[in-house]
Amino acid sequence: AQSVAQPEDQVNVAEGNPLTVKCTYSVSGNPYLFWYVQYPNRGLQFLLKYITGDNLVKGSYGFEAEFNKSQTSFHLKKPSALVSDSALYFCAVRAPSGGSYIPTFGRGTSLIVHP
């Protein structure tokens, strides 16, 4: 069965500093990986995805994520955090086909950016 681990319930960072939100995964075969963001009282919103190709994926709002196959990780990063980036971030994984076709989500990481 596929799974996603987001080891940190909360990440605190000062505005202007770089941020990293961690994600590791387990899936059979080549993974499709996703990051979503949830602002207060809103639904989950797609940020970026890795399907194939370049290991560094760029997404919305200046976020990027690096796929590392050997470490089975897909960490979310941003060079300079903004207070408005404060939200709940979800990592998700799925397989291209077969029984793990449906995305599995992590528990989420709350990002707090301090002014």
Partner 1 sequence: DAGVIQSPRHEVTEMGQEVTLRCKPISGHDYLFWYRQTMMRGLELLIYFNNNVPIDDSGMPEDRFSAKMPNASFSTLKIQPSEPRDSAVYFCASWASWDTQYFGPGTRLTVL
- Look at residues 23, 30, 3, 38 and name the one whose alpha carbon lies nearest to residue 91: 23
22 binds partner 1 (CB under 8 A): no
Residues in a beta bridge with 3: 26
Q: According to CB under 8 A, which residues from 35 to 94 bind partner 1?
A: 36, 41-46, 49, 90, 92
Could you tell me which of 108, 59, 63 has the C-alpha nearest to residue 85? 63
Bridge-based pairing of strands 44-50 and 32-38 is antiparallel
Taking the least distance from each CB to partner 1, the nearer of 81 and 100 is 100
Tokens of 96: 């291209």
Query: In this complex, which beta carbon is closest to partner 1, that of residue 15 or of residue 88?
Result: 88
| Residue 103 binds to partner 1 (criterion: CB under 8 A) | yes
Closer CB to partner 1, 26 or 103, in the complex:
103
Give residues in contact with partner 1 (CB under 8 A).
34, 36, 41-46, 49, 90, 92, 101-103, 105, 107-108
